[in-house]
Structure 1
Amino acid sequence: MKTKIVLIAIFSLICAQGFSQDSFGSVNYSIGLPSGDLKDFTDNVSGRGVAVDYAFMLKSNVSIGFGIGLQTFYEEKGYSSLTDGTQTLSGKQFNYVNALPLYINGAYYFGNSPNVKPYLGIGLGTMYVDKRADIGIFEVVNDGWAFLVKPEVGLQYKAAANIGLNLSYRYNYASDIDNVGSMTYSSVMIGAVWFY
C-alpha cells in the first residue's frame, strides 16, 4: 500500500512539472443569482458560494480544465402550507437549495497582453442539487443529479509572476430533475489565480 501511495505521489509531481508554466488554479468567491424554478423556490441573491478551478494551456490562447463549486440559496417564506402527496403541512417555511456543480471546461483568451486577458469559456458536467423545504418540525427533501452547461465570460489579471485576479460571470444551466425542477442560476465571481 505504501508503495502505491509513493508511486501516485511521484506520478502527480511528474504531471505537475509537465504542466508547469502553462497551468493555473483559481479559488473564486461566488454570488448566486437564481432564475427559473430556483427563483420561484428561493428568490434571494446568495453570497454563499465558492468555485475551485484548475486548467492548463493547450496553446497560448486556449485552455482546458476542470472544476467544482458549491452555491447555497436560502429564503424564509413565512407562514405557509405545503402539500406533498396526500399530506398538507402548515407552519413557518424555510427553503434551502445546495447546488454542487462538477465540470470540465475550456476557454479562449483574447488579446496579446501578458497581464490582462479577457476570455470566453464553456463548461459541461453535472450538478447535484439538494432542495429542502422546512415547515415547522417537518422537512420535505428532493434531490438529484442534472446535466450542466456553463457558459462564462471573464477577465484574468496577472498582478505578479505567479499570482493574479479573476473576475467572471457564469450562467449555470442545469437540466430538469424530477421533483426538483430546473435549478438554473447565474454567478458573479471574484477570486485569486495561481499560475504554475
Structure 2
Amino acid sequence: MKYRILFTLVFCVVSAGAWAQGMMIKINYSPSMPLGNTADFTSNFSGRGANFEFLKMSNNRFGFGVEAGTVNFYEEVPDQLLESGTVTVHGNQFRYMKMTPLMASAIFFFTESGPVRPFASIAAGLSINTRTRNMGIFVEKVANNQIGFRPELGAVFELSDYVGIKVSGKYYQTFENSAMPSQSWLGFNVGFVMLNFNN
C-alpha cells in the first residue's frame, strides 16, 4: 500500500511540472552486481532492476530531486542447513534479496551544453531491504529499513533539445543496524531522459 501512495505522489509531482522549464525526468533500466555482504548472501548478477528520477534544474548544470528504484537478487545455494525452532532442514536454499532505495539527489553537469553531457550525481536517503531464505515449506524473512547513499558517474546523450539517452554507474551503500548488516551493490544504468533545461 505504501508503494502505491509513493508512486501516486511522484506521479502527481511529475505531472504538475513535466512541461515547466528546468525539469529532468529519467527512467532507467538498472542491471546490478551485488557487493560486500550482499554478494555473500546472493552472489549472482541481476537483470531485475529499475529506477526513476525526477530533478528540478536550477540552471543548465545543477539540479536536485528525488530517486526511487528497486533491484532484486536471487541465488540457489546447494547443501545448506536451515534451523527453525527445533527443526533443522538440509537441502538447496533459495535466497532472495530485494532493495528499494528512496533518496534525495543532486546532479552536476560538467558542460553547459552539447550532444554529450557528462555528469556526477550523489543521493542519500532510505533503502527498504528484504532478505528471504526459502527451503521447501520453511521461509526465513527479514525486512528492514537502512540509511544509505549513492554516488553516480555517467553521461546524457542528447538526441534533441527535449530527449536523451543516459548511461551511468551507481554505487549504493547502506549502513548496518541491529536487524541487518550493511548492503552494497553496483548498478549499470541505461535510461531514457526527458529534458527541459532553463535557457
TM-score exceeds 0.5:
yes
Corresponding residue for 1:44? 44
Q: Is the 8 A contact 2:26 2:52 kept in 1?
A: yes
1:174 aligns with 2:170: no
Q: Which moved more, 1:170-179 or 1:96-105?
A: 170-179
RMSD: 2.2
| Contact 2:14–2:54 (CA under 8 A) maintained in structure 1 | no
1:21-36 matches, within 5 Å, as: 21-36=21-36
1:4 alignment counterpart:
none
Task: Provide the C-alpha distance between the structure 1 equivalents of 2:38 and 2:52, rounded to a whole number of angstroms.
Answer: 23
CA distance in 2, matches of 1:95, 1:15: 41
Q: Give the gaps of 5 or more residues in structure 1.
A: 1-7
Equivalent residue for 1:56?
Answer: 56
What letter corresponds to residue 36 of structure 1 in structure 2? G
Identity %: 26
Range moving further from structure 2, 67-76 or 57-66: 57-66
User: Within the alignment, does 1:150 sit opposite 2:120 as a pair?
Assistant: no
1:124/1:148 contact within 8 Å kept:
yes
Conservation of the 8 A alpha-carbon contact between 1:55 and 1:66: yes
Answer whether contact 1:90 1:136 (CA < 8 A) is retained.
no
Q: Secondary structure at the match of 1:59?
A: coil
Larger-Rg structure: 1
Does the Cα contact within 8 Å between 1:64 and 1:107 map onto a contact in 2?
Answer: yes
Change (3 A) 1:112 1:143: same
Aligned to 1:16: 17
**TM-score, reference length from structure 1:** 0.87
Map of 1:5 onto structure 2: none
Residue aligning to 1:76: 76
Q: CA deviation at 1:143?
A: 1.2
Cα 1:85/1:72, change in 2 over 3 Å: same
Equivalent in the alignment of 1:120: 120
Shift of 1:84: 5.4
Which one-letter code corresponds to 2:89 in the other structure?
A: L
Structure 2 unaligned spans of 5+: 1-8
